[in-house]
Structure 1
Amino acid sequence: MTRGITRRALLGSTLLGGAGLLSGCGFQPLYATRDGGPPTAELASVRVGLIPDRSGQLLRRALEQRFGSGSGVPGQYELKTTFQTGIEQEGFRRDGVATRSRITATAPWQLYTMSVPPVLVASGTERSFDAWNIPDNQFFAADASADAAQQRLVVVIASDISEKVALALRARNRGTT
């Protein structure tokens, strides 16, 4: 019993010490409140431009959800991006029929102020890939797998872009751009 309490006390003091070290080095969670105001208000001021094609529309919707667009916050920034995908066959049977497909997504993006003239705040290119097996004589399953892979890519790319935008806005506010 005493040994369990000692271990708990040691674990608790280690966790508190670690938290103290992190706060001492300036660590701050990306989406935490700071200076009494939520950082989500600044992210909500990002407007996402139109992105062509169905996958682009899915990416735009995912980005708007991550930023909290449409929450009544006036727009200060505009995010322009495109979304390109490419599919290649990877695995092949002896008769030459593909057994596996790989989809690669690329999304170059630029964040501008909505001032006149617009000022480039940040830019980058996010890439990700996914793959799926193509079952024999099950075309519906192959289509469903391809759609699911595309959805996963949209989520990953949206997450990566929103994280980079949040970091760029934080750096801009601190004057370290």
Structure 2
Amino acid sequence: MTKARALLAVLALPLLAGCGFRPLYATPDMPKGAMQAKLRSIYVEPIPEKTGYQMRTRLIDLIDGQGEARGASYYLRVNLTIHAEAIGVQSQTTASGITQTAITRYNDTLKAEYELIDPATGNPVTKGVETGLTAYNVLSSPYATLANQQDADRRAAEDIADRIRINLAVYFAEQAKK
């Protein structure tokens, strides 16, 4: 059965060429390795707060970037905001007839506005906005709730960092066509 699948895959390859599919990092207008070199030349400016630090670290890892501004061809400036919204509320009536209401779930919306800046001119060459939504439960322990929130926000920040890297790679691929 595996030989039949392999043969089918080989026969389907010419169909992919006809549909216009091409890998982002294999842009014919750019020499081999040029896309990675462009991404490596980006300095990611520090982003405030713990979640911002985690996003910056993820971006540096994804683009295989440098941690210092010296020699960078571009600066990436990211403004990260987090908005928390209570979405789950639970009411309980005690034996004495008092109704208590407690928040049981939150949604955090992360919004990253980014600009890729040419240090020679100080002007942005491309910019964009990426958002992420994350949810977490409120637990009986405040520490556990905080840990839930931080973990959820970290995962959302890393997802946004992935999308920013893809957007930057698309920008560089489009610039190579010009």
| TM-score over 0.5 for the pair | yes
- Say if 2:14 is the partner of 1:20: yes
| Structure with the higher strand share, 1 or 2 | 2
Bigger RCO of structures 1 and 2 (CA < 8 A, at least 6 apart): 2
- Say if 2:99 is the partner of 1:93: no
Greater displacement, 119-128 / 23-32: 23-32
- 8 Å CA contact 1:80–1:110 kept in 2: the answer is yes
**Aligned amino acid, residue 12 of structure 2:** G
SS of the residue corresponding to residue 60 of structure 1 reads helix
Q: 2: distance between equivalents of 1:87 and 1:38?
A: 40
Which one of 39, 49, 62 corresponds to residue 66 of structure 1? 62
Cα distance per residue 1:94-133 (max 9 Å; x no partner): 1320011111100011112222x23432111000011011
For normalisation by structure 1, the TM-score amounts to 0.83
Q: 1: distance between equivalents of 2:16 and 2:126?
A: 27
Alignment partner, residue 172 of structure 1: 175
Q: 2: distance between equivalents of 1:37 and 1:139?
A: 48
Q: 1: distance between equivalents of 2:10 and 2:146?
A: 50
Query: How many residues get paired?
Result: 167
Alignment partner, residue 113 of structure 2: 108
Alignment partner, residue 78 of structure 2: 81
* Structure 1 residues 101 and 69: alpha-carbon distance in aligned structure 2, compared to 1, 3 A threshold: same
SS of the residue corresponding to residue 108 of structure 1 reads strand
- Structure 1: gaps spanning 5 or more residues: none
Q: 1: distance between equivalents of 2:156 and 2:127?
A: 20
The RMSD of aligned alpha carbons is 2.4
For normalisation by structure 2, the TM-score amounts to 0.82
- Structure 2: gaps spanning 5 or more residues: 92-99
Q: 1: distance between equivalents of 2:67 and 2:14?
A: 35
Which one of 158, 163, 167 corresponds to residue 160 of structure 1? 163
Q: Identity of paired residues, percent?
A: 26
Alignment partner, residue 45 of structure 1: 41
